[in-house]
Structures are given as C-alpha cells and as structure tokens.
Structure 1
Amino acid sequence: MSSQSIRGTQNPFKQSVQYEVQVDVNYNAKYRKVITEGSGPQTRFIYLGRNKENDAWKIISIGTGP
C-alpha cells in the first residue's frame, strides 16, 4: 500500500496497512427508532500507520469500503 495516500485520506506515516474486519453489531434502540444500519454482521476497513518498525500503530481511518 502506498504511504502517500489511502483513497483520499492524508497519510503522514512511512508504513501503512489495511485490515478488513467483520463485526457483529446488535442495536437496541431504546429512545431513537431510526437506525441507519440493521443489526448483524458488518464489514469495516481499518487503515493503520506508523513511522518506524518499533512504533505503535495508529488508526488513520475506519470505513465501510476499501
């Protein structure tokens, strides 16, 4: 993955990775009845970056598409 940009997101890190993550969401709307997504399995794409090998990874972006 290019360290220059991640699909329009500014990426100041020298190393970056992308992970596809499956999450199981369960909405229980007590007060608000309008929810933009339904409950169940959903896919998220998480982009992480760091400058040096021993640095901690930092979240650059979390989204619903690559």
Structure 2
Amino acid sequence: MSLIKRAKAPTPKFFKVLRNVGLALAAVGGTILAAPIALPVIVTTIGGYLAVAGGVLSAASQLTTTDDSK
C-alpha cells in the first residue's frame, strides 16, 4: 500500500481520537513557543517537546488503517 493510499484510507475510531489529542498537544506546544513574552527556559523546552510529540502522534495516528480485505 502506498503512502498516499494509506493516508486516504479509513482510520479506526481510537486512532482518530489519538490524532486529535496529538493536534491539541502540537497546538499547545506551538502556542508556548510563540508566546510574545519571555518565558523560563524549562517552559519553552517543554513547549518544544509538546510540539514534536503532538506532531509525531498525529502523523502516526493518521497513517494507521484498518485492513478489512482479509
């Protein structure tokens, strides 16, 4: 299965929820990183980790499909 077909294939309900959680984590992390005020280093570090973890979680969840052909 090619990557394009896999991305367009139906995603199970559990992974749809995980994808949405990942998108929310990425949004929170991006908001922390783009804050117009100076934040402590630990907060910006956590924001970076949240953004990366959310992006990876969303991408992995989107590419998970069901295989009903068996």
**TM tier, smaller:** under 0.3
Q: Highest relative contact order (Cα 8 Å, sep 6+), 1 or 2?
A: 2
- TM-score (norm. length: structure 2): 0.22
Question: Higher helix fraction: Structure 1 or Structure 2?
Answer: 2
Question: Higher strand fraction: Structure 1 or Structure 2?
Answer: 1
- TM-score (norm. length: structure 1): 0.23
